[in-house]
Amino acid sequence: MKKLFAVALGVLSAIGGFVDIGDLVTNALVGSRFGMSLAWVVLVGVLGIVVFAEMSGRVVAASGRPTFDIVRERFGPKVGLLNLGGSMAVTLLTYIAEIGGIALSLELATSVHELLWIPVTAAAVWIVLWRAKFALLENVFGLLGLALIVFAVALWQLGPDWSELATSAATMDKPASEEWSTYAYFAVALFGAAMTPYEVFFFSSGGVEEKWDRSSVATMRSNVFIGFPLGGLLSLAIAGVATVTLMPEGIEVETLGQVGLPVAIALGKIGFAIAILGFFAATFGAACETGLSLGYSIAQYFGWQWGKFVRPREAARFHLVILLATILAAVVLLTTIDPILVTEFSVVFSAVALPLTYLPILMVANDRGYMGPLTNGRLSNTLGTIYMVIVLVASIAAVPLMIWTKMGTS
């Protein structure tokens, strides 16, 4: 019974914790401009994160060490540093976007300008990362993030023509007013949002925090195989409500308020309030995950003590990295840069950095020396190889498409 409860809690947290500011904004924006014609990218992205999260979970279960600790040992400090530099730059960008997302959620709830919330939110995130226990911050924000189910309820309440939505998704055809280059740009951005690198850093190091071993593989797989796809359905629901309500009105999503507008149309004030709670939980949870990921990866590379399973005093440099990253995030946001713009950059550069994150995982998961009986099987390797090709194409295409389409505005 206790194990069943742990599995259920893990699955629910995985669903609620799947969506972050990048998913919220990108899915709503794409839904408002392209309808459901890019839904296939969400499916491809979710399957990709499932494949690689399961792989990195197995690495932890087999070795008791986080994936990128092994990457450094297996590939040496130079390759490790390249991996660390690229991945951490993107994770820092995501961290800034998530803290900005919390401030935007609070602005929607209070009408107080987001700039005034930035110092408060940054301080709150840091205090939670410093003081709260790992299980608490993982489960509380994951469960509160389930408030985003309100988007699925709103879609059902709006009573759309389901066959029309399905046809739009199946035909993958862009609206006549959009260019194919813009379609490709948003496909890459959606893919980057679904496969954000920090998700595997957090998943892998979190497994060590929770002391996974070979007996934990079944629980880990249930979280990944059930929780992530259901989280992906939330992404599709966000795109779906935008397709049904915003697209016909010519509203193109540029703010978090516009992301929530369809919920107010479908469910009124209470629904909108629940959506704001979901925004807050999703961005706060993701800020904690990205902040920890920065500390985890840097501390693991340099061989420092890390993690929430030891007292802050014993992992002082790990906590110092998180503190400095939080201060930097607040300073960047206080320059009045638009957090939504940071989010758009973060999902595109996530796509650029994907090979740096996923190639080492694929290689380590094939190393019998570390993995023993949990080494990749034929299915994992086939999927992993196919995804490496997709990831490479997305990575190479991301920046040229961003410049060519002026970040999707042309």
Angle, CA of 400, 403 and 405, to the nearest 5°:
105
* CB distance 190 to 30 below 8 Å: yes
Match 């840091």 to its residue by tokens. Answer: 126
Q: Please report, as residue ranges, which positions from 172 to 231 form the binding site for other proteins (by CB under 8 A).
A: 177
Nearer to other proteins, 27 or 223 (CB): 27
Site for other proteins in 60-119 (CB under 8 A): 107-111, 113
Task: Give the nearer residue to other proteins in terms of CB position, either 215 or 336.
Answer: 336
The span of 21-29, 251-259, 295-303, 387-395 binding other proteins (CB under 8 A) equals: 251-259
Structural tokens at position 341: 């713009």
3-state secondary structure 331-370: HHHHCCCCHHHHHHHHHHHHHHHHHHHHHHHHHHCCCHHH
Q: Between residues 26 and 258, which has the closer beta carbon with respect to other proteins? A: 258
Amino acid at 67: T
Residue 252 found at the interface with other proteins (CB under 8 A): yes
Alpha-carbon distance values, 159 to 22, 110, 154, 245, 351 (Å):
27, 31, 9, 11, 34
Q: Give whichever of 32 and 350 is closer to other proteins, judged by the CB atom.
A: 32
Residue 182 CA from chain centroid, whole number: 22
Residue 269 touching other proteins (CB under 8 A): yes
CB of 182 to other proteins, least distance (A): 12
Burial of 153: CB neighbours in 10 Å, binned 0-12, 13-18, 19+ = middle
48 vs 271, beta carbon nearer other proteins = 271
Query: Is residue 254 within the footprint of other proteins (CB under 8 A)?
Result: yes
- The minimum distance between CB 247 and other proteins, in angstroms, equals 11
Rule CB under 8 A: is residue 409 a binding residue for other proteins?
A: yes
Q: How far is the CB of 160 from other proteins (least distance, A)?
A: 17
Write down the least CB distance from residue 208 to other proteins, Å.
40
Q: What's the token pair of residue 297?
A: 């990866």
- The encoded tokens of residue 141 equal 């924000």
Question: At its nearest, how many Å lie between other proteins and the CB of residue 179?
Answer: 11
CA distances from residue 61 to 79, 195, 378, 382 in whole angstroms, order as listed:
24, 22, 19, 21
Q: Which residues, other chains included, contact 386 with Cβ-Cβ below 8 Å and sequence gap of 6+?
A: none
CB neighbours of 216 closer than 8 A, spacing ≥ 6? 61, 207, 210
Is 148 one of the binding residues for other proteins (CB under 8 A)?
no
Residues 112-131 that bind other proteins (CB under 8 A): 113
At closest approach, how far in Å is the CB of 21 from other proteins?
16
Residues that bind other proteins (CB under 8 A): 107-111, 113, 177, 249-252, 254-255, 257-258, 260-261, 264-265, 268-269, 272-273, 276, 409-410
